[in-house]
Amino acid sequence: MQLLNLPCSSFSTTTTKLSVPFFGLAVVLLLSFASPTISCTEQEESSLISFIDGLLPGHNSSLSMSWVKGTDCCKWEGITCSIDGTVTDVSLASQGLQGRISPSLGNLTGLLHLNLSHNLLDGNLPMELVFSRSIVILDVSFNRLDGSLPEPQSSSDSFPLQVLNISSNLFTGKFSSQQWEVMKNIVALNASNNSFTGQIPSSICINAPSFAILDLCYNEFSGSISPGLGNCSKLREFKAGYNNFSGALPEELFSATSLEHLSLPNNNLQGVLDGSHIVKLVKLTVLDLGSTGLSGNIPDSIGQLSTLEELRLDNNNMYGELPSGLGNCTNLRYLSLRNNRFVGDLSKVNFTWLNLRIADFSINNFTGTIPESIYSCSNLIALRLAFNKFYGQLSPRMGNLKSLSFFSVSDNHFTNITNALQILKSCKNLTSLLIGTNFRGEVMPKDETIDGFENLRVLSIDSCGLVGQIPPWISKLKKLEVLDLSSNTLTGQIPFWISDLPVLFYLDISNNNLTGDIPAALMNMPMLQSGKNAAQLDPNFLELPVYWTPARQYRLLNAFPNALSLGSNNFTGMIPSEIGQLKMLDGFNVSFNRLSGEIPQQICNLTNLQLLDLSSNHLTGALPSALTDMHFLSKFNVSYNDLEGPVPTGRQFGTFLNTSYSGNPKLCGPMLRNQCDREPEHATSPKQQNKKAIIALALGVFFGGLAILFLLGRFLMSMRRTSSVHQNKGSSNGDIEATSSSSVSEHLHDMIKGSILVMVPRGKGESNSLTFKDILKATNNFDQQNIIGCGGNGLVYKAELPNGSKLAIKKLNGEMCLMEREFTAEVEALSMAQHDNLVPLWGYCIQGNSRLLIYSYMENGSLDDWLHNRENGRPLLDWPTRVKIAQGASRGLSYIHNICKPHIVHRDIKSSNILLDREFRACVADFGLARLILPYDTHVTTELIGTLGYIPPEYSQAWVATLRGDIYSFGVVLLELLTGRRPVQVLPKSKELVQWVREMRSQRKDAEVLDPALGGMGHEEQMLKVLDVACKCISHNPCMRPTIQEVVSCLDSVDAALQVQM
């Protein structure tokens, strides 16, 4: 299965620097590119035709037009011949080819270069290509090839292959010693981004003296790193990050003295960085050992690596002071020591002669002031010092850093904010300035002389306790996109000029003492009004993580939502009706203020809104019914106001917790257990009241008499019918019967004509004698106290039958119901889908315009409840149970995708649609609410498909529900199981779980993605494997996602390993 395309996972076979053997190869290839004077042979033509015939039709139209049998194949697209007409080069990258690679290409005896990369080819890699007698460069990267690498027929042979790129495929299995015994000419191997396992063979370099480049990133290799790599005397690049290697770095590895690039991030290495070993790698330019578990100090001998350009030791357990020898690494341009336990004063290191461009010292325990020597690094573009114990004032020399673009000193003990800003304005290229949680209790500078900052895009001065007002000098920052002044003690009103900042899309001034009305001018912010304005944003921006604290998980600038956060102030007045102009707004928070009046209807125009928090104000009136049109709304809170009337129902409003409406006693609705069965009372005069009372009494007597006569007549008729039924032994159990013990309400329900109830036979001996009357009794006439679920498709009621069994009755929304004939045909077809991991459909009922579906009751509720709603005392789901749930859900999905006829696209896979029985067996629910499709067809709709956070990206271009779309949604469910997080958490956390996981993985922080509640239980290895599966499922490219059967196989293998461990 295909992982995401990550930077470590590929190299170019045409641009990589390679040594002596490639000089001769270059000459050969150059000669081969000469124009041929003789056409290719009949055998070569036949081999090429066999190759294209083995591909799936319809995916190679351009080749079909060019590759015409009987014509000169040297003139075919992608074919290059030598001067004598021999085919030497087949280059068909990015042609959209699908199908299997034919071994016939191995018959091209003069072929030197074969490039089939970036296609959709599957199946095994033919042995005839890997062990060809002619191929020198073989590139099949970025396909869907699977299986293990072929084995040679004889270990005594030798083959000319020098470059093998099989990266970004689905290969599995181990590397065998026999494979490398015959690859005696291999120079470069890229096997990254696959699922290879086992260890690196110790003989990998013994038979290949010219081996120079080895890339094994993003696989499942384990065990110790092979000491045999020390025999690779010409090895220049060794990349093996994101695997499961363990143990200490072998001493033999440092015998590979030609190493220039050593990258092993995100493994489970142990031990320390031995100074006596590292100095042997005198040619080293890149050393990346981030997130490996290293401890100890940085050895002073690191300074002897004069060619070192990148040093990444972030996210480890290293400690102590930095060695002074670090100052001797004069070519060092990238230094990341983030998130360790380093201490001491940085001034002990002389940075003067370093070529630093990016320096990250954040999240350590450094003390003292910023070292003066670092101001000599004139090429520095990013300096991160956040979350340390630095103190004092910024030095005037800070202004010498003319190239500085990103500066973060948040959460330290700096003082004199006015001085800091006066100095930093000299950094003309500054785009991000984060200085929050410093300058405690100082005055917000309002000096007009604070100008400059003309390129600033992010300004964060939060959590400082600053007093004063929002300063006017900010109005000059015309490129400002993000402004965070939250958690200070600012007073006064929101200045009118805020709306004049042309590209501002994120404003957080919450937790201050601001007063006055929310100005209507604030609703004129251009970036929040139209998506067309997004083109104004400069994409060529230094994308470094912005915030690190748990409360601020925006990693990159483009992860910020379009948001106005004005909560926890003293704003008064009404919410401006102009709010409806901000079409691009994602989050609007005005909680904990003193706002009054009604919620403006115009707020319903914000169809992109994901968060709306109006809680703890003095708002009155009704909730606008059009709020249900806000399809992406995922967090909604209007608690503690004075609102009244019905709560909107349907769509996302079925998912909000009751606490979203707390403190509004006049609100009513099913989820509040406060029925909206009476019109609100209005004040009237005594005269009007008397008049109404007389009319009501007269109408009551009249209609009451009619009702008594009606009931009496119907009762006599029913008694006659009952007698007839008892005399007729052939009567159906499905008939609606009346008994003397029935309540009047129940009796009236039973006598409604036209009810149709059909129970589905599910096996021998199972009773299907349920009647509609039974359903009414079991749900207490669909009483709201029996509601156990509420979603966009309708309400779900718990039904308890007299024999103690339970059912779940789904009452579908009227707006989505089909006509009777269509509904019957569709549900009866769905009833044929029977599997242990699908919620059983027992029957259906058509009652007037109502449509009911009758399901088995699942004792343990939904996965969503167990992961995200544990307030009622549910215990934590352990990892083995989560694996069991993932397995079961994947098997249920596999059944509806592959086995049942017709195949079904679910369209709304999410954790609340995965239900759990008493034994925590997972069952997929609501699959019957997607329209059926014939095999390999798609269902096209103009309605919103799915639930926010689970919707595949391709659905935004075409509303087409596909099997691959279900895979994406299931990948999100896997991420929920792994992280314990909801798929969407808008403010103040990142927009979507998918986006957050991708960013964490790009920063090599896979382990930090995992649910901390499961930490220390010994399951991290299996969890990281499932994380790999999940990330394959959420690939941007639907074609690169695995099938559900491939997902099932992967989860089964994880479970098998887990059983062995247990």
Q: Give me the amino acid identity at 67.
A: W
Q: Which residues pair with 490 in a beta bridge?
A: 468
Q: Which helix H or strand E contains 749, and what residues bound it?
A: helix 744-750
Q: Which residues pair with 796 in a beta bridge?
A: 789, 810
Helix (H, G, I), strand (E, B) or coil at 260: coil
Calpha distance 130→152 (Å, rounded): 9
**Could you count the other beta carbons within 10 Å of the beta carbon of residue 135?**
24
The answer to whether the CB of 253 falls within 8 A of the CB of 231 is: no
Residue 435 phi, psi dihedral angles, 5° rounding: -130, 20
Residue 136 phi, psi dihedral angles, 5° rounding: -105, -40
Calpha distance 633→651 (Å, rounded): 10
Pairing mode, if any, of strands 482-484 and 506-508?
parallel
Q: Which residues pair with 230 in a beta bridge?
A: none
Q: At a CB cut-off of 8 Å and minimum separation 6, what does 86 contact? A: 32, 36, 40, 41, 44, 109, 110
Calpha distance 436→413 (Å, rounded): 10
**Could you count the other beta carbons within 10 Å of the beta carbon of residue 739?**
11
**Could you count the other beta carbons within 10 Å of the beta carbon of residue 702?**
10
Calpha distance 352→873 (Å, rounded): 58
Query: Based on C-alpha coordinates, what's the Rg of the chain?
Result: 34
Q: At a CB cut-off of 8 Å and minimum separation 6, what does 680 contact? A: 644, 645, 666
Percent helix, strand, coil in the chain, to 5, is 30, 20, 50
**Could you count the other beta carbons within 10 Å of the beta carbon of residue 956?**
8
Calpha distance 145→141 (Å, rounded): 9
Helix (H, G, I), strand (E, B) or coil at 886: helix
Calpha distance 925→912 (Å, rounded): 9
The structure tokens listed for 551 are 């409360």
* 811 marked among binding-site residues: yes
The answer to whether the CB of 7 falls within 8 A of the CB of 1056 is: no
908 is annotated as an active-site residue: yes
Calpha distance 333→327 (Å, rounded): 12
- Among 613, 908, 1006, 1028, the active-site one is 908
The structure tokens listed for 997 are 């996981």
CA-closest candidate to residue 830, choices 931, 933, 938, 928: 928
Calpha distance 838→94 (Å, rounded): 40
- CA angle, 251 as apex, 246 and 253 as ends, to 5°? 80
- CA angle, 747 as apex, 742 and 749 as ends, to 5°? 135
Detail the residues annotated as belonging to a binding site: 811
Q: What positions carry a catalytic annotation? A: 908
Detail the residues annotated as belonging to a binding site for ATP: 811
